[in-house]
Amino acid sequence: MANVKFFSGKSLPLEMHKVRIVQKLNLPPVEKRQFLMNEAGNNTFLLQNRDVFMDMLTDSGVNAMSDLQQAAMLRADDAYAGSETYNRMVTKVREIFGMEYFLPVHQGRAAENILATALVKPGDVVPMNFHFTTTKAHITRMGGSVEELVIPEALEPINDCPFKGNFDIPRLEALIQKVGPEHIPFVRIEAGTNLIGGQPLSLQNMREVSAVCKKYNIRLMLDASLLQDNLYFIKAREEACKNMTIREITAEISALMDIIYFSARKFGFARGGGISMRHQDDELRMKEFIPLYEGFLTYGGMSVREMEAIVVGLDESMDEDIISQGPLFIQYMANELHKRGVPVILPAGGLGCHLNASAFLEHVPHEQYPAGALAAALYIASGIRGMERGTLSEQRNEDGSERYAELELLRLAMPRRVYTLSQVEYAIDRVEWLYNNRHLIGGLNFVEEPSVLRFFFGRLEPIGDWQDKLVAKFREDFGDSL
C-alpha cells in the first residue's frame, strides 16, 4: 500500500484517486430538514435523495465506479443466453475465489433467498458470528433459526480487540453437539459483521471455524459482501498476514469455504451479486431457482453492463490502495469523534463510522428507539442521512414484545471514492454539535409498523416537541448557516 507521510506530522487519510465526474449536492435549511424528516416518518430510508446533503445511509450500490469500470460497460454483450459478458464474469469469479461453480443473482439478499430456500428446512439451526437482517429473515421464513456466536468482546463498544467479528469456537462446537450436525445446513461467516460496527474476523479464526465444520461434515459459507474491508484489516492487523498480498489472503480464505456469496453492490463497486460453490451437488440444488427467481443462468437478474463493471471491480477489490481508503477514512472519523468525547465503536471497523446511540442518548430508553431518534436528529442538524442499526432493525419476538438489540448504533456509512475529507470534517463537526446538545433529543414512537423488515419502510413520530427545540438551538448557534 502507498505510504505517504505529511511533513507537518499530521496523520490524514489520502485519496489515491482523482475525481473526474461530479454530482451537485443540495443542503436544505434546518427548518426544511425538520419538515422533510417528519414527512418521511422519521425514517431515513424514506427521505428523497434530492433532500440529502451527505448520503451515509449505506455503501451498497452507491460506491463510485472507476474509469476502467465505466469503460468496460460499453462492451457488454446483452445476449439473453450464452453472453460473453457472463463468460468474462464467471472466469473472473473463478480466478478470485478458486471455485468451479457459479450462479449469478441480482444482489446479496437474492443469494440469501436461494440459499435458504435450497438448504434450510423447518427446525434447522444456522450458526453465524452475527446475523444480518435479511439473512435472518430468509432463514426464519423457511422455519429455521439463527444462533449468534460472536466473541464477547464484540459487544463491548470500546476495547483493544482487533477482530471483534471472530467466532467463539468453544460455543460453536457446543452448539453443534447440542443440536446435532444433521440439523445444521451450514455455518455462516459474515466478513465485516454489519450490525455490530463492521467488525472483521481474522484469517486464523476462519481456519478454526473451518476445522470444526470439517470435523462434523458441515458446509462452511462466507458472506463476502464486506470482504474487501475485512481483507484490508487482516493484512493491517494480523501479524502472520502482513507480508501476504490481498490476493493471497483471499485465496487462503476461499480455500476454507464450501460456498461464497456476495453482493457486488459492495464487493465489486457495481450492482449485482453471485454464489460460488465448491461442490456440484450444491450447484444442482440451487440452479433451478435462478430462472424461477432471478433470470436466466447467464445473467441472474443483472444488467450485463453492471456485470462488465463487476469484472473490473473484482480486480480493483484486490488492490490494497483501493480497498484501504474506506477503512482509513472511517478510522479517521471515528478517532476524531472519540477525541471530542463522542461515543463511537472502537476500534473502527469497515463499512462506516458507528455512533454508540445508547451512550449518546443515555436518557432515551430502548423502547423509544434511541438509534432511530439519533438518525432523525442528525439529519435535522446536518442534512446527513445515516442508518439506524439497533432495535428498529430487529424483528419483534413471536409474542409481540421487542427484541432489544445488543448494540444501539447509528451507522454513518462511507461510500467508496465518493466523499472528500472536507465533507468528512463537516460530518464530524455536526455530530460533535449534536452530542453537545444531546439533552434536547427525545425518542420516537411507531405510527405505521410493518411486521417484517420494519426499518425499511415503517413510519414513526417524535415523542414531544424535541425537534422544535433542536431547530431553535441550531439557529441560536449557527445563525443563518445551512
The Cα 93–Cα 114 span in angstroms is 19
The Cα 240–Cα 205 span in angstroms is 13
Task: Give me the DSSP letters along 388-454.
Answer: EESGGGSPPPTTS-----SS-EEEEE--TTT--HHHHHHHHHHHHHHHHTGGG---EEEEE--SSSH
Nearest in space to 223 (alpha carbons), one of 261, 275, 193, 252: 261
Report residue 441 CA to chain centroid gap.
27
Q: Is the peptide bond before 347 cis (omega within 30 degrees of 0)?
A: yes
For residue 266, what is the DSSP state? T
362, 371, 136, 274 alpha-carbon torsion, rounded to 10°: -140
Radius of gyration of the chain (CA): 22
Report residue 160 CA to chain centroid gap.
22
Each residue's pLDDT expressed in tens, for the chain with a length of 482 residues = 778 888 898 888 888 888 889 999 999 999 999 999 999 999 999 999 999 999 999 999 899 999 999 999 999 999 999 999 999 999 999 999 999 999 999 999 999 999 999 999 999 999 999 999 899 999 999 999 999 999 999 999 999 999 999 999 999 999 999 999 999 999 999 999 999 999 999 999 999 999 999 999 999 999 999 999 999 999 999 999 999 999 999 999 999 999 999 999 999 999 999 999 999 999 999 999 999 999 999 999 999 999 999 999 999 999 999 999 999 999 999 999 999 999 999 999 999 999 999 999 999 999 999 999 999 999 999 999 999 999 999 989 989 999 999 999 999 999 999 999 999 999 999 999 999 999 999 999 999 999 889 999 999 999 999 999 999 999 999 999 99
Helical segments of 60-219, H only: 67-72, 84-97, 108-119, 133-141, 169-179, 203-216
For 123, counting Cβ atoms within 10 Å of its Cβ (0-12 exposed, 13-18 middle, 19+ buried), the class is: exposed
Q: Where are the beta strands (DSSP E) in 12-100?
A: 54-55
Whole-structure pTM value: 0.95
Give catalytic residues, as residue numbers. Answer: 80, 132-133, 223, 266, 389, 455
For 335, counting Cβ atoms within 10 Å of its Cβ (0-12 exposed, 13-18 middle, 19+ buried), the class is: middle
